[in-house]
Structure 1
Amino acid sequence: MEFALMVPLVAVLMLAVVQVGLVVHTRVMLTHAVRSGVRVAAVGGDDTAVGHAVIGAGGLVPEFTEVEVTRGADTVTVEVRYREPMRVPVISGLVDAVDLEAVARMRREDR
């Protein structure tokens, strides 16, 4: 009797752990992607090239990705916002998506 009551709870908790792992993985990939994008921007790449570098390096879905490039006198900043959809079925019924953000700044090398 107690086992039958606990199995669904334990299953949902295990699925939640899997989903958290997927979000953490995406966060790490987002950090890598924004660093790749700021490297391209630092050497003079245009905004389109930066966007391609971000999406290519992170394996991100373009429809869920926003890339913002800010060029200062000496530095360039790339900010990426990504909406990570929940991929585990039970968890996606509770939470639709998580918004992730990463920022990187680098000295300009195109001058």
Structure 2
Amino acid sequence: MSRQRRSQGCSGQATVELALALPLLMVFLLGAVQLTLVIRGQLAVTHAARAAARAASVSASPTRAAATAARAATSLERLDVRTENGARTVRVTVLARVPTDVPLVGALIGDVTVSATAVMAVES
């Protein structure tokens, strides 16, 4: 027969360890969620720059390029679209702010600015 011994003074140790580790785990999880949202914003800006460059290469209109970028990046609120027309190419740069709405993380890092540039040949 074996007898189980219970050590004195160790009851609740796992609960205390969990209580100490849980806030750190939550901050890590919320940071991962916020990072995912920033990456999503970067992908949206890249898509908007590509679509705006395509529109500008066909029509050579900065207004049309900006409107196309706004339609392409519907998940972002404000876009700053800059176009540069060269002799044979058009360059479009799109900038946007991605808000950090995730609790705790937003207070620590603030909003993130993402940008993308696309260059396409002008079609005549």
SS of 1:89's equivalent? coil
SS of 1:73's equivalent? coil
RMSD between aligned residues? 1.0
Q: Taking structure 1 as the reference length, what is the TM-score of the superposition?
A: 0.92
Q: Taking structure 2 as the reference length, what is the TM-score of the superposition?
A: 0.83
SS of 1:70's equivalent? strand
In structure 1, how many angstroms separate the alpha carbons of the residues matched to 2:44 and 2:112?
A: 15
Q: Could you say which residue in structure 2 is the equivalent of 1:61?
A: 77
Q: Is the 8 A contact 2:56 2:62 kept in 1?
A: yes
**Residues 1:2 and 2:17 aligned together:** yes
- What runs of 5+ residues in structure 1 fail to find an aligned partner? none
In structure 2, how many angstroms separate the alpha carbons of the residues matched to 1:14 and 1:24?
A: 16
- What runs of 5+ residues in structure 2 fail to find an aligned partner? 1-15
Amino acid at match of 2:102: V
In structure 2, how many angstroms separate the alpha carbons of the residues matched to 1:45 and 1:91?
A: 41
Following TM superposition, where does structure 1 have runs of at least 4 consecutive aligned residues deviating by more than 6 angstroms?
none
Higher strand share: 1
Q: Is the 8 A contact 2:60 2:85 kept in 1?
A: no
What's the % identity of the aligned pairs? 35
Higher helix share: 1
SS of 1:87's equivalent? coil
Amino acid at match of 1:27: Q
In structure 2, how many angstroms separate the alpha carbons of the residues matched to 1:58 and 1:87?
A: 18
